[in-house]
Amino acid sequence: MFNQYIDYSDEVLKAKANNQPLVALESTIISHGMPYPQNIEMANHVESIIRDAGAVPATIAIIDGRIKIGLNPTQLKILAQAKDVLKVSRKDIPFVLQARRHGATTVAATMVFAKLANIKVFATGGIGGVHRGAETSFDISADLFELAHTDVAVVCAGAKSILDIGLTLEYLETHGVPVIGYQSDDFPAFYTTKSGYGVDVKLETPHAIAKAMKIKWDLGLHGGLVIANPIPKAYAMDPQVIDAAITQALALQKAQNITGKATTPFLLAQVKEITGGDSLESNMQLVFHNAHLAAQIASAYQALQP
């Protein structure tokens, strides 16, 4: 029934017909996470990395009220340049489709659509989580709810360091979401390789991760997995510099009363401004790094299928 709302790109359809590994990609990072033209350059390069690693990219978005699994160059340009692209989470989906609007998918919405398209691996920058001050604001990302319920493995550089990482990990533990450290015992904090918090298990190879995914879902243990892939050390930021920038950005957010889904784009933009653009370069590099690992995991997972 849901297929009446979905369009697949020719590349994705061919991959499905040939049982090739697919990697889902979100689109909020294009429309709301980075400025033009860096956003479209990043999007094209991420797709190239996945192809070069032996998988097929499936960037996901809503264009003119249609769910798109895989985008063509024109559609990517719309996301990168149009001013009327909505930020879409799970709750927004029916209304964006009904109004025939453009929508960029968050981690949560991308997971919803990846599951509908039977894509098991998804690469992003960092997951959302429990925001600082959530004990009074109750600001908790829908990404965490989706990870608890949706059978998609999410490759990320940990949780965005603007969040309360400790509470984010507590939420994931409570809801049975395994947190895997790829070749690392320490949960990364987006711009930095370490957060000071541990992971549930350290796995050394894409094959080991793929096997764990298969066993989990074969046993009917529904929900996603977080595959925490630390940013390459060459692009990691000084923890003191990034913490100071985040503290300043949070103060600006409070002063300007920024709330809800506008919070993360605002904070990331402020951190970029405060760090003189250094955080944007780090952001791009960690996305590239995650895309490469996701392609390897998708290939390994596909090889395990009958």
Task: For residues 72 and 76, give the distance between their C-alpha atoms in angstroms, rounded to a whole number.
Answer: 6
**Phi, psi of 104, deg, nearest 5:** -100, 130
Give the closest residue to 115 by CA, choosing from 143, 152, 90: 152
Give the closest residue to 84 by CA, choosing from 65, 59, 112, 111: 65
Residue that is written with structure tokens 């080991």 in the block: 208
Contact 253, 193 (CB under 8 A): no
Catalytic positions, please?
26, 160
Task: For residues 263 and 268, give the distance between their C-alpha atoms in angstroms, rounded to a whole number.
Answer: 9
CA dihedral 179, 265, 120, 176 (to 10 degrees): 30
Contact 177, 186 (CB under 8 A): no
Give the gyration radius of the chain's Cα atoms.
18
